[in-house]
Structure 1
Amino acid sequence: MPRQQTEATVYLDVYKLVVERKRLQEEQQKIEQRTQQINQRMTQLDRQIAALETTLQQMRSGIVPEARSLPPTASSQPETFDMLFLEY
């Protein structure tokens, strides 16, 4: 036998539904933001793929593309080494 509905239980049900609706709206906003990030990344990947395909076509036709110079990086080997001993 279901409980008798009182004004308090109706308010409780309304509150639960409002909270769930708010949670779903926030989740939807996060999903939309993530979708936008994914679309931006896919656009970036499409550009990179197109650039590499152009480079491949130039290489096949005998045109050598300009070599891209990499920025100088810090030396991968430090000038001095610190010794560390671990004992078990």
Structure 2
Amino acid sequence: MKKFYLLLFVALIAITSNAQDKVVLRQTFIKVKPGNNYAEDLKTKFGEMAQKRIDAGYQLGWHLWEVVGNPQAPFTHIIVEPMMISQMEKVFFSF
């Protein structure tokens, strides 16, 4: 009887853990010319758009990262947008 309950418990854990929605990261790489204040522009303009997408349920949040100390990098900023797979499907299949 103990083995039956153990097997049932393991099966329930496997089913519930498999049913959870996975988080994916959508990344956008941006290269800008040095000397301009693009980081602030990205924060304000992209931030407004991203907040609308968060409020509409298309993504979980957003992050803006600046690449420093690597002038050979093909990009200077990275925008990371975490979203659930179900939200990603909502974005790409809503057309």
Which of 1 and 2 has greater Rg? 1
- TM (norm. structure 2) is 0.29
User: Does 1 or 2 have the higher relative contact order (CA < 8 Å, sep 6+)?
Assistant: 2
Relative to its length, the structure with more strand (as a share) is: 2
Relative to its length, the structure with more helix (as a share) is: 1
